[in-house]
Structures are given as C-alpha cells and as structure tokens.
Copies of this chain bind each other. A is one copy, B any other.
Amino acid sequence: MLKLSKKTEYALMAVKFMARNAADGSVTAKEISEGYNIPYDLLSKVLQQLTHKKLVNSFQGIKGGYTLNHDPENVTLFDIISAVEPNYQITDCFQEGSTEKDCTYINCCMIRDPLAKVQKEIDKLFKAVTIQQILWP
C-alpha cells in the first residue's frame, strides 16, 4: 500500500546508470542489468516504457542501446512514475474510465472528491522533484 513498485526503482537506477555512462555513448540493457544486479527482462520492459514516453532514446541493432533524452534536471519523479506505473492513483475511485457503477458502496464515492484533492497534491510534490535531486543529492 502506497508503495512504489520495483519498476520505478529500476527506472531510477537505469537513469542513474545512463547519466553516469553518458560519455561512452549509448548503454545496453545488459550493461545496466549486470552493473546494478537488476533482472534483465524486467529492466528491458522498463526501458521500453521510458522510450515510449520519450524519456530515453533507444537504438536497435547490434550496436544499439539507450541514452537519456533530457538532462536530469529537466526530468521529474512524476515523469518516471507515470511512465512506469500503469495506473497511479491513491484510490480507484477517480481512475481513468471508472464510473459511478464501479463503486459498490452505498453513498457512492463519498470520499472521492476530497481524496482527489490529496492526489493532486501528491502529483504536485512528484512534479517538484527532479531526477537530478534524487540521484545526486
């Protein structure tokens, strides 16, 4: 409950690895996986998700790999989390596509709106934290 998944951790670690090794050009999933002891397949998926959100560049083929697409001070924790956590919301109520019908309680969504405000505050918090701050405190 209220815990970030491994995918977020792996994403942060991968970003750190890429930033550290930026001088050597692109970095492969295998290098990150072995360098930080992260399961290769799972890491690959995380990197693919980061690629879809344009947070990293990917290069296919035998000389392929990944590079960061932005400077760490221009990427926020929110960017990483929302790239990697499938439906990141503190409660189901205001999930995308949810309707009143999804709510099984009498007095439906009695706590919905106020918690939505709390959610917005959390988003704001995550948007205020850059990867730079997290990875090089």
Contacts and interface: CB of A to CB of B under 8 A. Distances in A.
B90 A3 contact: yes
Nearest to A131: B114
Interface residues of A, number: 43
Nearest to A121: B125
Interface stretch (A21-29, A30-38, A52-60, A63-71): A30-38
Given A105-B36, A111-B12, A3 B1 contact: yes
A121 B35 CA distance: 31
Number of copies: 2
B35 A3 contact: no
B2 A111 contact: no
B4 A90 contact: yes
Closest 8 CB pairs of A and B: A114-B134, A1-B5, A1-B85, A114-B137, A37-B106, A4-B90, A12-B111, A36-B106
